[in-house]
Structures are given as structure tokens and as C-alpha cells.
Amino acid sequence: MNAKTRMWNIEMKNKTNIVWKWARAFVAAVLLPVCLGAVQGHPNGALAAQGSPKGAAGQMPAYYDGELFTVNIFEVPASDPLIQRDPTINIIYATNDLDDEQDFVPVIDAIQGDGFNPLWLQVLIVFNQGFTPHQFFSDDEVEDAAAGPNPEITLVVTDEIYRCSVVGNK
């Protein structure tokens, strides 16, 4: 399934599932303090350093098919035209906006040699009520958790595109 089809599937799921807003608010208000307490001090929970996101300071860990990689990220301003015109944009799944500290390590859906495009659409993972937040290790795990009659998570497509380079294994 290509990225454009996955984005369309995610969009359609979100349009039919209005409760994602309530689930996100619930997570933010109730579960976020618990999650932050659980990951405090975890070396993979945040950007490597603060400073200019154009260099090494924009590096962060990301999982791809169970393997931890280092990615260098930079948000692309005015992303809407890119979303409309480029069907090969990859997806990066994150629990928080990529400009913010992450509760869990983001998950990417491609690396060099596997349909890689340096442009990545940010898709937020929101845990639905009744499910305990946890780390995902692959895009297949994320998509499976968002599927079915009682999905564990809701995927929220943003309008943010990032330039991501996979710069190495962890």
C-alpha cells in the first residue's frame, strides 16, 4: 500500500471517528503526566540536544521495523502544497508534535532502499480511552493498532511536513 493510499485511509478513518478529539484531550489531561513520569530520564525520549534544528541538534531516534535509527529532522514551512502534489511522501508517526519532546520514540515507514523520500508527513498517535500508552516499533504495528472495530489508537493526520534524513543506526 503506497503512502497516498495510507494517508487517504487514515483521513477517512478520522472523518468517521469524531471521538478522536475527546480521546486526545483525555490523553493530554489525564494520561500525559503519567506517561511523562514513566519516560523521564529515558535516553530516547527527546531530541538529542536543543539548538538549531538544521544540524545535529535536530537529530532524534526513530524506529523502523523494530530497529532504532537516528533521523535528522527539519520542519518544511508551508507544507500544504507538498501534501497535495507529492504522493510519495513518507509517514512519521509520533505521540507529540515533532517540534516537542516525545513521550515515545517516533516510528518511520521507510528508510533508504525501501521507498525512501526525504519528505515525511507527521501523523500523531492518540491512545484511545481504556488503552495503556506504549512504544510502537514499526509502522505495521501502528497501522494494526489503529484498525478494527475497537482500535487501540487513533491516527491524526497533521498538515506538517518534515525533511528527514536517516543518518544512521543507533
pTM: 0.66
pLDDT at 64 over 90: yes
Q: Using CA of residue 122, residue 42, residue 62, residue 76, what is the dihedral sign?
A: positive
- Answer whether 93's CB lies under 8 Å from 126's CB: no
CA atoms of 35 and 29, how far apart (whole Å) = 11
pLDDT value of residue 7? 66
pLDDT value of residue 79? 60
pLDDT in tens, 21-57: 434 444 344 333 433 333 333 344 443 334 444 444 4
Residue spans per domain, the chain: 3-169
pLDDT value of residue 18? 43
pLDDT value of residue 137? 98
pLDDT value of residue 52? 45
Number of Cβ within 10 Å of residue 32's Cβ equals 15
pLDDT in tens, 135-151: 999 999 999 999 999 99
pLDDT value of residue 58? 81
pLDDT value of residue 82? 63
Cβ-in-10-Å burial (0-12, 13-18, 19+) of 156 comes to: middle
**Residue 2's pLDDT band (boundaries 50, 70, 90)?**
low
- Which residues lie below 8 Å from residue 32, measured CB to CB, with a gap of 6+? 103
